[in-house]
Structure 1
């Protein structure tokens, strides 16, 4: 990222998105930091030079279009988008944790309701589509831009009992790769970071038995949000010019694909 470049970051009120906003601010970028939680993203923006907060629900296509249009209207350009907004399902995690404690196989799919399925898919997958579409609509006429999507290692190992999250993130990866092959013809690069366990708010809400089951002394511990943010910043920068449609697995060696 160069001094004065304009970036739009979703999910910037906490975790990886907030870490990305901090890194970009430190590099002199002008950053619009968006999150569904206005108080959280305002607190992040208040401590960072060049960062403006915005309230955004990525599941709402109209909100996304208006937010991206406002970035261009206010700053005249959009150079980088980092899409980190996403949700997990604490109720499903509790089902898995309870099964672990009981020493029984989980029955999470049977307990998964339509509303929980729809929420995870609408934010994680539909939201990614909304952000990608809005970004390419303004970047392709400029024949330049970089988009980085935060995916998940769960799309590869498809953890038992977490089908809706795995399905959503697998869709995120396929969607991003398809868009990448289209957008590069217009000078716009799209890539994905697929983190493994990371110390974010989602991790903090993970029941201890389940969190413990994902710890393994043979691999690196949970990543910090800053470590994942550094990968996103690399993908957005000139040093990653030849990376298009890449899905970088950042899970500390838990598995390879």
Structure 2
């Protein structure tokens, strides 16, 4: 295994465990997959809509295998989970980092800032844009949670971590569909967490603020500049968010159930 350990890696923390990561082709998902492999996971399934991206990350990991997956497709999610069980007999850890934003809405917000006027997004938001964000972010989370619970409940153990967003709390102006989708993700995850803890399955959420991912790279510069507040920490790295996600997935977080950990560098508290 040729994975370099970062300063926060704890060798053996996930020794022998079978893990699956969605959105693993880049950003936070890729960072989680790398760290799982570095910490002893015997198998890491890297799922991403961008199959080539997932394959590139998997090649770094001695325990990695890539699959192309659209989390909005329920049958495809179920099929991947079934394949994991057939190949490995169990699924111990699931980190769900797949999600989408809306570059067009971001550009409208940016244009309004440059022109010194309030954003006008909601009345121009068409059904397709709304449904795309909801289908991937909210429906996709349901599909992944359901498949993971089906895999974990028979063995009475497992840890699921969902990547939400601080946008669920501060509800950015001009970004109603994204904020609503992530608020739904948080509520869905917490409701499932209360149900499945009786079966030994823990579900928790990390809610990042601005993080240096491909999604952030597509954010217009005027919006990125708005996040550059010297009074708070700068953009998080994917590895910093991965550290939090894997703490939640680890035995050290045994008493955390239905938690939503806000990881926004001090931009606001809830």
Shorter-chain TM-score category? over 0.9
Residues 16-55 of structure 1 show CA distances to partners (whole Å, capped at 9, x for unaligned) of: 0000000001012110000001111111111111000011
The Cα offsets for residues 158-184 of structure 1, whole Å up to 9 and x where unpaired, read as 000000000000000000000000000
Q: Does 1:175 align with 2:193?
A: no
| Alignment partner of 1:66 is 2:79 | yes
Say whether 1:216 aligns with 2:233: no
Distance in 2 (CA, whole Å) between partners of 1:185 and 1:20 is: 27
1:10 aligns with 2:31: no
Alignment of 1:49-198 (within 5 A): 49-198=62-211
Rounded to whole Å, the distance in 2 between the matches of 1:127 and 1:104 is: 35
After superposition, the C-alpha distances for 1:112-158 in whole angstroms (9 at most, x for unaligned) are 11111000000000000000000001111110000000000000000
Secondary structure of the residue that 1:48 maps to in structure 2? coil
CA RMSD, aligned part only? 0.6
Q: Distance in 1 between matches of 2:36 and 2:97?
A: 14
- The answer as to 2:43 corresponding to 1:27 is no
1:218-254 deviations in Å (ceiling 9; x for gaps): 0000000000000000000000000000000000000
* Paired residue secondary structure (1:199): coil
Q: Which runs of 4+ in 1 moved over 3 A?
A: none
In structure 1, the gaps of 5 or more residues are: none
- Give the Cα separation in 1 of the matches to 2:184 and 2:92: 25
2:53 aligned partner: 40
Query: Aligned-pair distance for 1:2?
Result: 2.5
SS of equivalent residue, structure 2 residue 186? helix
Q: Give CA deviations for 1:185-207 in whole Å, capped at 9, x if unaligned.
A: 00000000000000000000000
Q: How does 1:200-215 map to 2 (within 5 A)?
A: 200-215=213-228
Cα drift, residue 4 of structure 1: 1.6
In structure 2, distance between residues paired with 1:191 and 1:73: 26
Report the more deviating stretch, 197-206 or 212-221.
Answer: 212-221
What stretches of structure 2 of length at least 5 have no aligned partner? 1-12
Cα separation, 1, equivalents of 2:54 and 2:208: 22
Q: Distance in 1 between matches of 2:233 and 2:14?
A: 31
Q: TM-score, normalised by structure 1?
A: 0.99
Task: Give the structure-2-normalised TM-score.
Answer: 0.94
**Mapped partners of 2:86, 2:171: distance in 1:** 41
Aligned length: 257
- Aligned match of 2:10: none
- Which sits farther off after the overlay, 52-61 or 207-216? 207-216
